Structure 1
Amino acid sequence: MPHYQTELYSAKPAWLALSRQGRQQFFTAIGSAMPALSALGVELITFGKVDQSKLHAASQTFFAVWRCPDATALEALVSGIAQSGWHEYFDTINAGGKGTDFAGHLTQLGEAA
């Protein structure tokens, strides 16, 4: 089964203080790393802004969802994001792991301690 990574994140003061040019340079650097992740089979499913009107909405501002073919690719994604300097600019919560189907997840929930 594939592995998935979901990120929830909000801008830190360092991001808010960054000039438009500084932000663009950061985006360019992030974009240049994407081909290497794609070569590992890392696939972006979606990015977005958290809809705060939804019941039990996350307090973070943004989200990202990724699919990876295996644990090695997932680790490369998480490591690459950290190495990019992302966490200097964004408070991030990561939720990643091996995917399962509905029955498998019910088993996981049933076995929760």
Structure 2
Amino acid sequence: MAHYLAELYSPKPAWLALDQNGRRQFFEAIGSGMGALSALGVEAIALGETDAATLHAPSQKFFAIWRAPDAAAIAALVSGIAASGWHDYFDTINAAGPGVDLNGHLPQLAAL
């Protein structure tokens, strides 16, 4: 069963203070780590800027949605993100778990 990670994140002052060369170096380091995650089956489904005009929009400025074949691959992704220094630059909220369809999710809600 596929597992997913949904991230919401906003830049910290450390990111805003980082010059363009520092940002480029940071992105290069992140890119170099993606090969190992891809080998585990991790894929970025969508990344972007949140739409502040959406009803109940989050306060975070950006989102990323990832898919992986299992919980171990998602754990590797979350660990890799942390090891990259991402959290030094971005306040992040992570939501992860196995994905189900609507007919599988409604019983989860009903069971509460």
Aligned length: 112
What is the alpha-carbon distance in structure 1 between the residues aligned to residue 43 and residue 19 of structure 2? 29
Shift of 1:16: 0.3
Paired residue for 1:12? 12
Same amino acid, percent of matched pairs? 67
What is the alpha-carbon distance in structure 2 between the residues aligned to residue 8 and residue 71 of structure 1? 19
- Give me the TM-score of the superposition, normalised by structure 1: 0.98
Give the secondary structure class of the aligned counterpart of 2:64. strand
One-letter amino acid matched to 1:22: G
Paired residue for 2:90? 90
Shift of 1:71: 0.6
Shift of 1:103: 1.1
Shift of 1:106: 0.1
Paired residue for 1:27? 27
- Give me the TM-score of the superposition, normalised by structure 2: 0.99
* Structure 2 unpaired stretches of 5+: none
Give the secondary structure class of the aligned counterpart of 1:100. coil
Moved over 4 A (4+): none
